[in-house]
Amino acid sequence: MELNPEQERAVKAPPKPILVIAPAGTGKTQVLTERIIYLIESNIASPDEILAITFTNLAANEMVSRIERRIKDKHRIPDAIGTIHSLFGEILRKDIGLVCRNRNFNFEIIYGDFQDSIFRKALNKAKTDSKFSRYSLKDLKDLVSKYKISMHLGIDALTPIELYKVREVFDEYEKILEEKNLLDFDDVLIFVDKLFHEVPIILEFWQNKYKAILVDECQDLDEIQFRIIRKLVEKENPNFFAVGDPNQCIFIFKGAKENIFEEFKNLFEDCEEIELVTNYRSDKSIVKYSNEKKILPRPAISKANSKNQGCISFLPYIDNLLKETLLIQNIDLSRWSVLFRYNNDARFLVDQLIEHKIPFRTSNFYLLEDPTIEKIVNYLKVIYFDNSKPLKTILHSKDLALDKHTVKEICADGNYVGSTLFSFLINGTQWLDLPISDSDLSKLGVFLERIKLLRGLEKDYLAGLVESIIPIIFMGKITPTTKDKIELFILWLDAIQVEKTLFSAEEIVVNMISYAEISKEDINTKRHNYLTLSTIHKTKGLEWENVIVLRYEELQKSSTKNGNDKYLEYVAITRAKNNLFLIQ
């Protein structure tokens, strides 16, 4: 693999503490990969003596894939290349009993939808008053995470008001985790940190096992992650290799240490710093402009490898660009992205894209979070599948006005032993014998007849089905605002269901969120002709030929302030390869 001089210097640096400053587009992943191969082929470290820490599964998989292409022998591929939580989770699994008596080695690490469901259960148990009513699930998760980490580090990270609001839900959340032998990402880090601190012989074992430790995106490390890595490398003659860019430290709001490079240099007396300066991603004008937007001075100048000039356009509005470019037939939308600071910044654009039937994916599709649309989706799941979970959700809704005792009786597990709630209600009549009021029996009967009616409708064309069920499930009670949202939802369904078949309709209902929200992995593979809409935070490490940045003036203002968002402008600009459109 051909390397430029500064890359080669980094890859073949002596086995000592090395810090590689790698601005956007300078080949960070290539350098990390080649460094691992160099360590193996030079017999500096064997594959099982290498620990390579990344922040995403995408980055880990990319590194492994590149190494496999270079080293044909699978037995010489390091096993310990992965995310910080997956790698430390495996370290913890062997000895968790030494620091945590209420978990065993079979623990499961929770995240995403599974963690959200646990939080909802905790919130329901803790919700004795209205103190949580103004908090979103994400806000609560962030507060609980902040509280948990701050307790471990011995710092006061929450205000008294935040502490009051979070303590009760935190206690309920922890109870559920203990009962089910679960850990969240914070637990993994906390228990590994405790393990290394309280049981020195365990720390010594892992220090001796991993002769070479590499860290990707080191500017994203927070305090507890830094503490764990520091413990692993605080030994005689450490072979440590960290790569990152101080100008891309955009996760300060999550605790990322802005001074991490100085911390590492202070940790090692003989630390060597190497700068990568050749940008292989962007054309000349974009590299030149991004150099002007760097907040930190090192490295001062990135040099474009491209001979093309590229184009930067400052536009007052996105409308003309939308009409003249994105609405053109047969344009390759996978080469385009629209970036923004907050999800709300793109709502107006989402509406326009739906109306013009431009396929897109976004980091947060707001329509699916709307209670009205959530209600429709739950009905769709009941219509297409014998699904008890959305049925329970509908039974608990205010629309049916069923007494709490009634819902509890209906959903009691003993009613459908060897069967399902769906079958018990839809396919049988035993529910008529439940000890509930005549009024609620009547309401339930009307509801079940409605479900049977809906399940008998034509189901090949999803958008058409939704149009048919709206009068039935809303009974004519729709506000103008709600009507607009429903119409947008119907237009979106029509756009994403290319083939109007029962199979395609069922697939969309099952995978509704994945059709709307795109992950980093989806963005990077570019398997589909979708326009990507994403917050800037979710695009670090990614690139497109054409990048549109919304509300650019606000990003410029943020970059001049000493706040959490001061690096966002630079990160947004450096996603572009050929054309950059900055919408004022």
List residues forming the annotated binding site for ATP: 22-29
CA 376 to chain centre: 25
Distances (CA, A) of 369 to 121, 343, 378, 394, 476: 19, 12, 12, 16, 22
Cis peptide before 299 (omega within 30 of 0): yes
- Hey, is 353 helix, strand or coil? helix
Distances (CA, A) of 399 to 318, 396, 444, 571: 41, 9, 12, 46
Judge contact between 335 and 310, C-beta under 8 A: no
What DSSP state is assigned to residue 130? Answer: G
Q: Residue 22 and residue 26: Cα distance in Å, rounded? A: 6
Among 488, 44, 505, 427, smallest CA distance to 241 is for 44
The residues near 537 (Cβ < 8 Å, ≥ 6 apart) are 250, 251, 568
Bind-site residues: 22-29
* DSSP H/E element including 304: strand 303-304
Q: Which two tokens stand for residue 500?
A: 């109007």
- Hey, is 317 helix, strand or coil? coil
Q: CA torsion 401→403→408→410, rounded to 10°? A: -60
- For residue 54, with 0-12 CB atoms within 10 Å meaning exposed, 13-18 middle and 19 or more buried, which class applies? buried
Phi, psi values for residue 81, rounded to 5° = -120, 115
Q: Residue 582 and residue 548: Cα distance in Å, rounded? A: 6
- Hey, is 184 helix, strand or coil? coil
Q: Residue 284 and residue 580: Cα distance in Å, rounded? A: 12
- Hey, is 549 helix, strand or coil? strand
